[in-house]
């Protein structure tokens, strides 16, 4: 499973989520589930998913107590986790780290027994790092 925590007003989240959607489109439900976790309310979250073309399921974290975010020890958003079948977190990425997204791509491809998809398009200016 890929679990991606975000806040709609976060510019790094806005940068990262189209790349997460590319992973979703490349691998769909080939043995990996992508789930977003919003720290906003339903209206703001719906507007975000529409604006950034997010098609994978998005859950709402309670805006007063943030039980999901707190359970995973979040300090910043976006925070993305690769959670193995045994429940172990194998990748934990805070902010935008291009190498971490490449690792998620590799793991998703392996999981679906497929070749890694091209998620960074030729000629596209993709930053190596952006703090969350």
- Report pLDDT digits (tens) over 27-67: 977 789 999 999 999 999 999 999 999 999 999 999 899 99
Q: What's the chain's average pLDDT?
A: 95
Lowest mean pLDDT among 5-19, 23-37, 48-62, 87-101: 23-37
Answer yes or no: are the C-beta atoms of 76 and 132 closer than 8 Å: yes
Q: For position 29, what pLDDT does the model report?
A: 74
Span 71-75, mean pLDDT? 95
CATH superfamily, with its number, for domain 2-124: Glutaredoxin (3.40.30.10)
Alpha-helical segments (H) within 28-97 = 42-51, 67-71
Domain spans of the chain, in order of start: 2-124
């Amino acid at each position: 499973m890929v679990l991606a925590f975000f806040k709609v007003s976060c510019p790094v989240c806005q940068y990262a989520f189209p790349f997460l959607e590319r992973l979703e489109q490349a691998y769909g439900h080939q043995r990996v589930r992508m789930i977003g976790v919003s720290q906003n309310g339903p209206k703001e979250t719906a507007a975000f998913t529409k604006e950034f073309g997010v098609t994978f399921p998005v859950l709402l974290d309670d805006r007063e107590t943030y039980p999901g975010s707190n359970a995973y020890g979040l300090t910043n958003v976006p925070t993305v986790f690769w959670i193995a079948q045994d429940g172990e977190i194998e990748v934990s990425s805070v902010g935008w780290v291009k190498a971490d997204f490449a690792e998620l791509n590799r793991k998703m491809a392996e999981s679906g027994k497929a070749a890694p998809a091209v998620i960074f398009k030729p000629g596209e200016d993709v930053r190596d790092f952006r703090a969350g």
